[in-house]
Amino acid sequence: MTPWRVGGTPDAAGSLERRRDIMVREHLAGRGIRSQAVIRAMEEVPREAFIPEQLWEHAYDDNPLPIDEGQTISQPYIVAYMTEALELGVSDRVLEIGTGSGYAAAVLSRIVATVHSVERLEGLARSARERLDRLGYSNVLVHEGDGTLGWPEHAPYDAIVVTAGAPRVPPPLLHQLAIGGRLVIPVGPVPEFQLLVRVRRLNEDEYRTEELCGVRFVPLIGAKGW
């Protein structure tokens, strides 16, 4: 992995690393993230590398931040929470819907074997792909398209995570989940806020849904979304 250095000076890089440590300790471990794999991944991935330079000083605030095309990079706590909720294993193949900056895909890639990430906006898909390649996240594949249809070519997936709010769970995602697989997705009847749910595939025909917490994501737009 290419080491990432910010601002060209060791001081600036050191200060961001310190803020990353504090963010992990206070906002993640301090708020109940227990998975050591998730904590390690969040310690390792430099969030500043996924946001515009003028926002670097806010890289480790526990907030979503704006990226291109009116979209957002999610709040670190929510990235960690959703990643933990996926109950990942090292050999898992994961599908992420909503690549955005590529940050959450990078975090996932530190834990599992392969991440397929789908983004509907061509410009974001291209820049995330270039960024992930440059930073050395070689087990992430970014696809451009409507993620409400999943990505059937590489199905089934051990885990699927959707990082945009859907009106209901898109059926193609259920079909592309492996038996025993977990789908974590924000759903709700209005585009502004959602309930985060985890759907577990029990067998060929049965799924079990658990409600996790209230969240606020940009809308999932597509054939089976808004």
- Residue numbers of the site for ligand SAM (CB under 6 A)? 71-74, 97-98, 100-101, 103-104, 118-121, 124, 146-148, 163-164, 217-218, 220-222, 225
Distance CA 130, CA 134 (A): 6
The least CB distance from residue 116 to ligand SAM, in Å, is 12
Minimum CB distance to ligand SAM, residue 20 (Å): 16
Q: Which is nearer to ligand SAM, 77 or 103 (CB)?
A: 103
- The CA distance from 198 to 185, in Å, is 7
Is residue 74 annotated as part of the catalytic site, yes or no? yes
In whole angstroms, the minimum distance from the beta carbon of 104 to ligand SAM comes to 3
Q: Which is nearer to ligand SAM, 90 or 223 (CB)?
A: 223
**Minimum distance from residue 173 beta carbon to ligand SAM (Å):** 11
Phi then psi for 141, rounded to 5 degrees?
A: -115, 120
Between CA 193 and CA 176, with CA 98 as vertex, the angle to 5 degrees is 100
| Residue number with CB closer to ligand SAM (6 or 128) | 128
In degrees, rounded to 5, the angle at the alpha carbon of residue 135 between the alpha carbons of residues 131 and 141 is 60
Of 92 and 119, CB closest to ligand SAM: 119
Q: Which is nearer to ligand SAM, 58 or 179 (CB)?
A: 58
Query: Which candidate, 84, 61, 85, places its Cα nearest to that of 73?
Result: 61
Three-state DSSP class for 178? Answer: strand
Q: What share of the chain is helix, strand, coil (3-state, %, to 5)?
A: 40, 25, 35
Which position among 74, 109, 117, 127 bears the catalytic label? 74
**From the centroid of its chain, how far is CA 176?**
18
* Amino acid found at 185: I
Phi, psi (5° rounding) for residue 187?
-130, 150
- What is the nearest approach in angstroms of ligand SAM to the Cβ of residue 81? 13
Residues marked active site are found at 74
